[in-house]
Structure 1
């Protein structure tokens, strides 16, 4: 019996979602997309989970759409639209709505929609052996998953256009220099370093982490006046939480804080 196309596990306060089609370079399949979305929702509803890590099995993070299916013309235009609407777009919108930080552990090639799924995560830790590309143009396509929305927000309009129009493949270091990934680490240290970062965030006050993430994304699309109104409300709410009191008391008592998410 074959394994599911997407796997789910938890370690402490961290959920790990693994794309599991290594023989197909972790290319999309309907099963992978369905499970991916379900596992994001599972992590969202689990109060014990504070951080989510997404990675790929084998030597590829995700190669996006299955080129064999493209060559065979398996998906007609309306089928493609429904696949995006009912599958891929739901992952994108769930990632956008999640109040828990999502970290992509890019273990290998991230091409086309694979790169887009990585940049939709909040943080990206990248293997020094990984390659990234907005390869849609090579297939005569555009990023139907929202890549052209997210990429300019990371690198600016001009650089985003260059990457999208050329389909050039980037090394991990090039992606780091452009601000596409947060960290580049030795390949054999990828999960160790990713989990270290995830644990560091998971050990922070959960409500403050959630509101911090929301505040940053709200600030990107908001006016300064609206953002100041929003952030002052969040600060006021957090000032009455048990975790805020615990943080202050542990500082005064010179001990490690124990945060409960309350």
Structure 2
């Protein structure tokens, strides 16, 4: 997918961000390293997510990797041999690596991960931060940390049980086993599986469909679902009644209703 480059003047970078037709694409672009990320990439990743949230022209975000992999996690060669104190380790994660998770949590717009090849360790965790994962047949997921005596450092223990359930999550976290595309589909880790050369087309088809919906309603649905995970029924229904009151007061809501009656495509103006 071609789009406007909004990352600066460099045409090729380790992380590329573009926007076209309401869909923002974040491309991890280190195929020679299976898109292993650096701290500089993390900083840019968090920055463009916040830019996407603030940009009314962006309605959906697609995350993918260049070449034959999604993301193999942190680039260990960049950090090999580093010794950090416990405090420095905590700050390294909280102040740098975890900024992507925080930016994703603040993203009110749908996020879709298009995964081909390996998604390992923090690379798998980055896919879990997205709302929907679409996989190629080559996709292989592994939490991996346990294999080197570590705990998942980028949200795996938080996201995975919410997606596949506690038992499946613990099995994957404790063993570090690889899960292929078909098994990932069976346990709900991904929602679709396609041939590798059709994965991005499928992701953009879904993104385009979502971009064509009333943007405020889409965002409030996402907010309600995630907030509802930590609420009781009464609180969830109280929240949704407030959201409904706001949505029904908008021009976009009236346009959606009129277009439905007239059997035509709506024209949304986000107001």
TM-score by length of 1: 0.96
Gaps of at least 5 residues in structure 2 are 1-9
User: Are 2:36 and 1:31 equivalent residues in the alignment?
Assistant: no
Gaps of at least 5 residues in structure 1 are none
Q: In the aligned structure 1, how far is the partner of 2:108 from the partner of 2:97?
A: 19
Give the drift of 1:251.
1.7
User: Are 2:201 and 1:171 equivalent residues in the alignment?
Assistant: no
1:125-157 superposed Cα distances (whole Å, 9 cap, x missing partner): 111111111100011111111110111111111
2:5 — aligned with what? none
Query: How many residues matched?
Result: 261
1:145 — aligned with what? 154
| Larger helix proportion of the pair | 1
Paired residues of 2:38 and 2:78 also in contact (CA < 8 A) = no
2:192 — aligned with what? 183
Paired residues of 1:26 and 1:63 also in contact (CA < 8 A) = yes
2:130 — aligned with what? 121
Q: In the aligned structure 2, how far is the partner of 1:117 from the partner of 1:216?
A: 20
Give the drift of 1:198.
0.2
1:74 — aligned with what? 82
Alignment of 1:26-65 (within 5 A): 26-65=35-74
1:17 — aligned with what? 26
Q: In the aligned structure 2, how far is the partner of 1:203 from the partner of 1:106?
A: 23
Q: In the aligned structure 1, how far is the partner of 2:270 from the partner of 2:117?
A: 34
Give the drift of 1:253.
1.8
Cα-Cα RMSD = 1.5
Q: In the aligned structure 2, how far is the partner of 1:75 from the partner of 1:146?
A: 22
Aligned with residue 250 of structure 2, among 237, 241, 249: 241
1:260 — aligned with what? 269
Give the drift of 1:74.
2.1
Provide the secondary structure at the position in 2 that maps to 1:43.
helix
Give the drift of 1:95.
0.6
Paired residues of 1:61 and 1:109 also in contact (CA < 8 A) = yes
2:3 — aligned with what? none
Give the drift of 1:2.
9.6
Give the drift of 1:81.
2.3
2:4 — aligned with what? none
User: Are 2:147 and 1:135 equivalent residues in the alignment?
Assistant: no
Alignment of 1:189-208 (within 5 A): 189-208=198-217
Paired residues of 2:122 and 2:152 also in contact (CA < 8 A) = yes
Paired residues of 1:69 and 1:75 also in contact (CA < 8 A) = no
Paired residues of 2:39 and 2:97 also in contact (CA < 8 A) = no
User: Are 2:233 and 1:224 equivalent residues in the alignment?
Assistant: yes
Give the drift of 1:108.
1.7
TM-score by length of 2: 0.93
Q: In the aligned structure 1, how far is the partner of 2:259 from the partner of 2:204?
A: 25
Give the drift of 1:231.
0.4
Give the drift of 1:82.
2.4
